[in-house]
Amino acid sequence: MVLVEVVIVLVVMVVVVVVVVVVVVVVVVVVMMLVLVVVVVVVVAAVVVVIVVVVVVVVVAAHCSESVVVVVVVVVVVVVVKSHVVVAP
């Protein structure tokens, strides 16, 4: 009888360990996927901001004098830097 109880305890311990390992692996994978999604969103947002800035500068440069272009570039740079500083943790 003692041997049967020891085997039952060992089986239960193995099952508990396997369940804990599976849960930890699933949680780690989900967290890594969420982090990956956040990184992709941040990279896409940064690329969109750069494209918008380049388009604005090109359009302004095509239609305005150099002094206006300089002012627009400075304003855009200040706005982008301030928005990133405010958003960044």
Please indicate, yes or no, if residue 71 is contained in any of the structural domains: yes
Q: CA angle, corner 46, sides to 49 and 53, nearest 5? A: 20
Please indicate, yes or no, if residue 29 is contained in any of the structural domains: no
Q: Does 88 have pLDDT greater than 50?
A: no
Print the domain residue range for 87. Answer: 61-89
The reply to whether the predicted model has a pTM over 0.85 is no
pLDDT tens-digit readout, 54-76: 787 777 777 766 677 777 777 77
Alpha carbons 22 and 30: distance in angstroms, whole number: 12
Please indicate, yes or no, if residue 88 is contained in any of the structural domains: yes
Total domain count for the chain? 1
Residue 20 — pLDDT band, cuts 50, 70, 90? very high
- Contact between 53 and 80 under an 8 Å Cβ cutoff? The reply is yes
Please indicate, yes or no, if residue 77 is contained in any of the structural domains: yes
Residue 17 — pLDDT band, cuts 50, 70, 90? very high
> Mean pLDDT across the stretch 28-39?
90
